[in-house]
Chain A
């Protein structure tokens, strides 16, 4: 297990390095000059002296390989540089935004699991009934409706018409905890809708598989009750594919926050990345991509490890 863990960690580090290197050079090839962008605001021509001063200040006057080396050195000393648009260290910007995205993603995941798994089990147990039809029907809808459509529908119903919840925004928890959580509900439900749908379908099909598998009949033969068989023996087996789907979908979950954060004005890392790209804020883009790729790779790793725990054969 320790060796397995060490091997996976090493691969993960190499993966992160490859991703950030690609991002670094892709950025340099992307059209759009951050210095021009910061200076050419209102029609006036850009003064060469001002251009040079700013390029130097941002370290963009150095050759690309040198810039890359500087960034790598920074990476290993925990310094990701200064953001051009936030005008503070990239680490601080990400430190502010990442917890908000994780909070949103976590809340969505929680809602999706709480809704998706029990309903999936119910659909499987009542296979072919109207309950099953209804649930699978809604879940196809959930999987196919884009986040921004469903988000605006929720806003329309709960904020604009019923006036139950705020339409958007973010209030730091230390300022007002109640308002903080009220603003979390709609975006979290928006992401959870699609996510719980795929969770429901996955749970349903793996539960069906478990129901028809061979180890079930002897359990009944030993006189165990139906509920006990379902809950104790089948759920554990069924959880393996479900954990996989959660892990695989975490990436999609983070990606889903991009649109959701925009729709609900939720200031997380996704909106930060979008802002960074549209301003060609190189250090900030690199920083965000670094963190996001770490999240991706680490979740995959954790899924691998969880696999080992749930299924001894995978160890």
Chain B
């Protein structure tokens, strides 16, 4: 009897020990659930459809190189590279042992196939022009060596390769007839499990991932929560662990409630573009500068972003970065008299009537337009707000059908060359003031991209920034924040500020969620 009691006791102790140690490793959940604001319309990694889709795809696909969690460029599928003296030939060594999710090794042929797919115009790859403009040719030298030959030097070329939309895809998988828009297969930390339309996308950790020990959580689900309030509530009730695109008013709410972790960083900037066509008053730089002097940036921040944001009176380069030291930060200031004077000099002492295009789909776009309207009224410009839905707004921005347009955006790359898309003369496009044309700006942007000497580049771009403010085809308003909110159980989540706030997916492989 005693002996059996002892056995019982020992068994109990044993069970307890097992249970405790067991719970030690089971302390973290095997799943992280992320409420994202948009459902993808394509899974094609070479097409940038929106930031939320990029957030998903960054976990499935990787590029040769990419910005790491410390904000520095680092290797992903590549393990080393060399650049020829003249800056025209980039040779990459592919990390041996990197495999796609079907187990096949990533080879130079796959890299060649991927970049050539981006270069083929009919595929509609978002950043095709980046590679096409410098005349990129890809050669597979052997299984693990790939070379890029450019027609002209290109200082930011590594950045082009680091874009999530420069993802390396499997030639074999594509040639097997898989549909890359509805399915996905890459070499990233997570493999694609399924896309349940209207509900969620599920991913599962890839055991053959080239970074040992990662990803930390076995399953990731991206659940589509299109309504903002519903998304916020889903986080509060534990339906999801992480939510993206939290707006300023909600950030304030979350900070007040507590019990969650708020991650807020400087994100995109708000700006005005102008139709600079011949017959438009905005073809005159003095009129554009008048707008820059007239608008009340603080009022925009208070109205559209609940007071959370930073006014932008100069050019959106942060002092201390890209060879810039803040000299132009106070280029503009609010001065109604000066604005009126500039208007008079341009031949509009009585002002004029025009339209200002925004969208009613995003309240901060709409509110920005209304605040700008009020400020312009003070200098005699009657700007009539037009607030169609987002789809119409996109079409009108692509065809230049507006006088003033409100935009909120970011440079696509960290390098100063991001400004080329915004300022270089050419076709009407989204982030550009239609019909704007300045030879000096075009020349500076060309030189800046071609120049490989850092100091000389800094000089070129300093001159460019001055010229860009002088002519002001784009008038900057403010920085707004980018925010994620997670439950308190989520560990090691983060993202970077500025341009890289749009590459938050790099952090997910580290994320852990404590069991409740």
Contact = CB atoms under 8 A, between A and B. Distances in A.
A269 to B, nearest CB: 10
B390 A278 contact: yes
Contacts of A168: 225, 230, 233-234, 239
A199 interface: no
A41 B237 contact: no
Given A40-B398, A263-B230, A265-B226, A32 B124 contact: no
Interface in A87-111: 87-88, 93, 96-97
B280 interface: no
Interface in A259-273: 262-265, 267, 271-272
Nearest to B390: A278
Interface residues of A, number: 50
Interface residues of chain A: helix, strand, loop or mixed (majority): loop
Given A42-B126, A262-B227, A160 B426 contact: no
Contact of A31 (B47, B237, B395): B395
A160 B233 contact: yes
Interface in A34-61: 34, 36-47, 49-50, 53-54
A280 B395 CA distance: 11
Contacts of B102: none
Contacts of A93: 197
Nearest to B232: A167
Interface residues of chain B: helix, strand, loop or mixed (majority): loop
- Which of A31, A43, A97, A271 has the most CB atoms of chain B within a 10 A radius of its CB? A43
A36 B395 contact: yes
A47 B461 CA distance: 28
A86 interface: yes
Nearest to B197: A86
A31 B429 contact: no
A279 B48 contact: no
Contacts of B353: none
A37 B396 CA distance: 11
Given A45-B427, A49-B121, A97-B198, A32 B237 contact: no
A38 to B, nearest CB: 7
Given A262-B227, A265-B226, A33 B41 contact: no
Contacts of A172: 196, 199
B431 A275 contact: no
B182 interface: yes
Interface string A134-173: 0000000000000000001001000110010011111010
Contacts of B129: 44-45, 47
Contact of A37 (B123, B197, B391): B391
A275 B39 contact: yes
B239 A166 contact: yes
A85 interface: yes
Contacts of B239: 166-169
Contact of B41 (A43, A84, A97): A84
20 contacts: A31-B391, A37-B391, A37-B395, A38-B49, A41-B47, A41-B49, A42-B126, A44-B126, A44-B430, A45-B427, A46-B429, A49-B122, A50-B121, A50-B122, A87-B182, A166-B239, A167-B237, A169-B223, A267-B198, A267-B199
Interface of A: 31-34, 36-47, 49-50, 53-54, 84-88, 93, 96-97, 152, 155, 159-160, 163, 166-170, 172, 262-265, 267, 271-272, 275, 278-280
